[in-house]
A and B are shown apart, each in its own frame.
Chain A
Amino acid sequence: MAANANWQDGNTKGEPGSSLHGVTGREPVFQMTMETVGEKEATDLKGRKFALPVDSEHKAKTVRLYSVAAPHMRTFHLSWIAFMICFFSTFAAPPLMPVIRDNLGLTKVDIGNAGIASVAGAVVSRLLMGTICDLVGPRYGCAILMMITAPAIFCMPLVSTPVGFILVRFFIGFCLATFVSCQFWMSSMFNSKIVGIANGTAAGWGNMGGGIVQLVMPLVFDIIRRDIGSEKFTAWRIAFFVPGVLQVMMGLLVLTLGQDLPDGNYAELKREGEKVNDSFQKVFLYAVTNYRTYIFALTYGYCFGVELTVDNIIAEYFYDRFDLNLQTAGIIASTFGLMNLFSRPLGGVLSDVVAARWGMRGRLWNLWIIQTVGGVLCIVLGLTGQLGPAIAVMLIFSFFVQAACGATFGVIPFISRRSLGIISGATGAGGNIGAVTTQGIFFMSSKYTTEDGIMLMGIMIVACTLPVIFVHFPQWGSMFCPPSKATEEDYYISEWSKEEQSNGLHHASMKFAENSKSERGRQSPPRSKEETVGVDRL
């Protein structure tokens, strides 16, 4: 009775989780009795019903793409659209490059440097964004970043020198950190069983912005030139107001309509004692001392990083090697990015499907296989000399490289509960470092022809994917090693000191540990008596 009164009137105080039914991992008996209330009647702290079925952490258990119900699906759509617009802004210059390079007198080195600058800024901002999400929430992180980088986009129309161009592309590139807030948000809103597809779809559709922009910016440029009658060198500048305005509008929408967690915003939850302020030092410490952070930062550089590099060089490659005109080369370039519509989500889906049967070990194998095949196809692309086959290989290659990105983020949410933000950020940053590295080594100088560069990049992909073999979870195992007797609770509680545990700070992690038992896969026997009661109902 007392428990009912607590969550219904919203004045929840004291131990987080004690007044919400069926959530504490320490009271399996409560889980059984609360079960009869039914998950469909789950409500947030204010007593509002959720539109989707939710688990014990109030994360959604399904994804309904056609819905915009608050908070889960609304967050989903806000998140991916915001990220897509940031991708759009970052890659708004490449499709107009023939005009810009004549206006500013750019050389190939200038263009190469600008390409590297556009993805280098996000290395730092993605690392910072992880921390920001952990501390103030993804809603603020995403919106503030978008609205602070919007002035950089508005500076592009003012650029008149190569140095100015490189600097502006550098600052615009910071907004790619919305990827981290997007993934963090998805991981906070969707249950571990479907986090793969949620993350993959949101990020994939966001990445599509890199393809959409190759079609939209030339169109806008044409309209401005024809209908407003501007000169070429003025029209491209006006065209840049489109990404700028879109970004500001989206930032405002995220602020007004977004919500950090299923139960509310960080500020409200902190006030009501539901969200505890975490210490940055601890969060940072547990991220940097976890070796898995570094492995995934490296491997992500060779799926997402490669994707960014290819976005920058593929139009020129087809233009030069196969003597196409700029429009045709641009259309082919856009298909690479547009494959993201389904390839990245499918990578996440495959990760989830494989995990249902084989758990985390399946997810790791899935990632390694997909990314290695992507590397092999990259080698083949560099060696293909006919136009038709080259396009076919490129499309299949794009599928695998983007699916690998989706598969990576099927694993990331499980590395740490406490430091999820920083780890997501580090992985994202690793992706951008990979882009900087591959562009710098293979595509800047005349040492390698572009086709040789692509082939060598493929070899590097295969080599840098091997470290996935060494990722081991004590409770789930690794690609070649079975799990030990450790449990999910052991793993996630190790991030909290004894003192913090006595203050009850670890309860959210314990809820997560309970929900993550699905990563054992279907065949593993239960390890303790408690777990024979109804865990699999989730």
Chain B
Amino acid sequence: MACGVLQCVVRSLAVAALVLASTSFAEAGVLFSTLDESINVAVEIQGQNVTEGPVNRVAKVGDDRLVVSWNLNSSLMGLGVDKNYVSLKLRLCFAPISQLERGWRKTNDDLHRDKTCTIVIANQKYTTDGNSTVWRIPKNVPGATYFVRAYATDERGQQLAYGQSTDQLKTSNLITIIPISGRHVTIDIASGVFSVFSIASLIAFLASEFAQTSNR
């Protein structure tokens, strides 16, 4: 019996190895360092005054809206730099302080592996005059410090240029977003009820068994 199972195991391992070896993993993508910063991006929290200085602006998930406006850098107008730009992808990106000790948000020059800008704000058509969008911050955005980046892409989705609302070092003009906790009163109550039930039913059971054995 042991031999039969071993044979079966070896065969399935071989099949698995073949199947999985043919799994395609991520292909290399465009390198960020090759992109031009030809887009200007500005972010405002709707209804709030712009704060200058070291303190980040604060926005609340679900309540606040971000107004993101972008346009082509004025010095590059009319030079044909943007002739291949088809669409513009707006992304919410983690600032370095929120990437600290969190390898799943790591910046990688290969844009296929880059995890800095995973939250989608909007995908817009590229126009030479620029555009803006109002984005209500969804409830699944984690609490962290962010900036906004725009990628100009061609018709295949390959990035050609970018722009961001902060400087090269990604330390200025950042936005801190306050998340939801995810907790609800109903969940808290249910937790309490189930916990009490667990302990109470245990005690009841033990008590009845004890009574049974001492009665006999």
A residues at B contact (CB < 8 Å):
98, 101-103, 105-109, 140, 143-144, 147-148, 150-151, 154-155, 157-158, 160, 231-234, 236-238, 241, 244-245, 248, 251-252, 255-256, 267-268, 271, 320, 322-324, 328, 332, 342, 346, 349-350, 353, 386-389, 391-392, 395-396, 399
The smallest C-beta distance from B101 to any residue of chain A, in angstroms, reads 4
Chain B stretch 148-197: residues in CB contact (< 8 A) with chain A: 179-184, 187-188, 190-192, 194-195, 197
Q: How far is the CA of A232 from the CA of B5 in the complex (A)?
A: 42
Q: Are B25 and A387 in contact (CB under 8 A)?
A: yes
Q: How far is the CA of A252 from the CA of B209 in the complex (A)?
A: 13
* Majority SS at the chain B contact face: helix
Q: Are A267 and B213 in contact (CB under 8 A)?
A: yes
Q: How far is the CA of A78 from the CA of B102 in the complex (A)?
A: 41
B79 proximal to A (CB < 8 A)? no
Q: Are B102 and A342 in contact (CB under 8 A)?
A: no
**Complex interface: chain B residues within 8 A of A251 (CB):** 198, 202
Q: Are B202 and A147 in contact (CB under 8 A)?
A: yes
**Complex interface: chain B residues within 8 A of A346 (CB):** 2, 5
Q: Are B202 and A392 in contact (CB under 8 A)?
A: no
B50 proximal to A (CB < 8 A)? no
**Complex interface: chain A residues within 8 A of B202 (CB):** 143-144, 147-148, 251, 255
Q: Which residue of B lies closest to A345 (CB)?
A: B5
- Determine which of A160, A241, A320, A324 lies in contact with B194 in the assembled complex, contact meaning CB atoms within 8 Å: A241
Q: Are A389 and B103 in contact (CB under 8 A)?
A: no
The smallest C-beta distance from B118 to any residue of chain A, in angstroms, reads 10
The smallest C-beta distance from A522 to any residue of chain B, in angstroms, reads 18
B113 proximal to A (CB < 8 A)? yes
- Determine which of B182, B194, B201 lies in contact with A234 in the assembled complex, contact meaning CB atoms within 8 Å: B182
Q: How far is the CA of A154 from the CA of B194 in the complex (A)?
A: 7
Q: Are A233 and B182 in contact (CB under 8 A)?
A: yes
A-B Cβ contacts below 8 A, count: 139
If A147-B199, A147-B201 touch, whether A103 touches B142 (CB-CB below 8 Å) is yes
- Determine which of B9, B102, B183 lies in contact with A108 in the assembled complex, contact meaning CB atoms within 8 Å: B102
Q: Which residue of B lies closest to A150 (CB)?
A: B198
Q: Are A233 and B140 in contact (CB under 8 A)?
A: yes
A103-B181, A148-B198, A157-B187 known; 16 new pairs, CB 8 Å cut-off, are A103-B182, A105-B143, A105-B144, A108-B102, A140-B206, A154-B191, A157-B183, A160-B183, A241-B190, A244-B194, A268-B213, A271-B213, A271-B216, A387-B21, A387-B23, A395-B16
Q: Are A233 and B179 in contact (CB under 8 A)?
A: yes
If A103-B142, A233-B140, A251-B202 touch, whether A391 touches B187 (CB-CB below 8 Å) is no
Q: How far is the CA of A322 from the CA of B183 in the complex (A)?
A: 35
The smallest C-beta distance from B158 to any residue of chain A, in angstroms, reads 19
Q: Are B184 and A388 in contact (CB under 8 A)?
A: no
Q: Are B199 and A233 in contact (CB under 8 A)?
A: no
Q: How far is the CA of A77 from the CA of B114 in the complex (A)?
A: 48
If A157-B191, A251-B202, A386-B21 touch, whether A233 touches B181 (CB-CB below 8 Å) is yes
**Complex interface: chain B residues within 8 A of A144 (CB):** 202, 206
Q: Are A391 and B183 in contact (CB under 8 A)?
A: no
Q: Are A103 and B101 in contact (CB under 8 A)?
A: no
Q: Are B142 and A105 in contact (CB under 8 A)?
A: yes
**Complex interface: chain B residues within 8 A of A387 (CB):** 20-21, 23, 25
**Complex interface: chain A residues within 8 A of B22 (CB):** 388
What are some 9 contacts across the A-B interface (CB < 8 A)?
A102-B142, A107-B101, A236-B182, A241-B190, A248-B197, A251-B198, A267-B209, A323-B25, A389-B17
Q: How far is the CA of A395 from the CA of B140 in the complex (A)?
A: 36
**Complex interface: chain B residues within 8 A of A98 (CB):** 104
Q: Are A328 and B23 in contact (CB under 8 A)?
A: yes
The smallest C-beta distance from A328 to any residue of chain B, in angstroms, reads 7
**Complex interface: chain B residues within 8 A of A256 (CB):** 205
The smallest C-beta distance from A495 to any residue of chain B, in angstroms, reads 29
Q: Are A349 and B2 in contact (CB under 8 A)?
A: yes
Q: How far is the CA of A61 from the CA of B201 in the complex (A)?
A: 36
Residue in B17, B20, B182, B209 with the greatest tally of chain A CB atoms within 10 Å = B182
**Complex interface: chain B residues within 8 A of A143 (CB):** 202
The smallest C-beta distance from A392 to any residue of chain B, in angstroms, reads 4
**Complex interface: chain A residues within 8 A of B120 (CB):** none
- Determine which of A107, A231, A391 lies in contact with B20 in the assembled complex, contact meaning CB atoms within 8 Å: A391
Q: How far is the CA of A392 from the CA of B140 in the complex (A)?
A: 37
The smallest C-beta distance from A281 to any residue of chain B, in angstroms, reads 25
Q: Are A107 and B104 in contact (CB under 8 A)?
A: no
The smallest C-beta distance from B98 to any residue of chain A, in angstroms, reads 9
**Complex interface: chain A residues within 8 A of B103 (CB):** 108, 320
**Complex interface: chain B residues within 8 A of A248 (CB):** 194, 197-198, 201
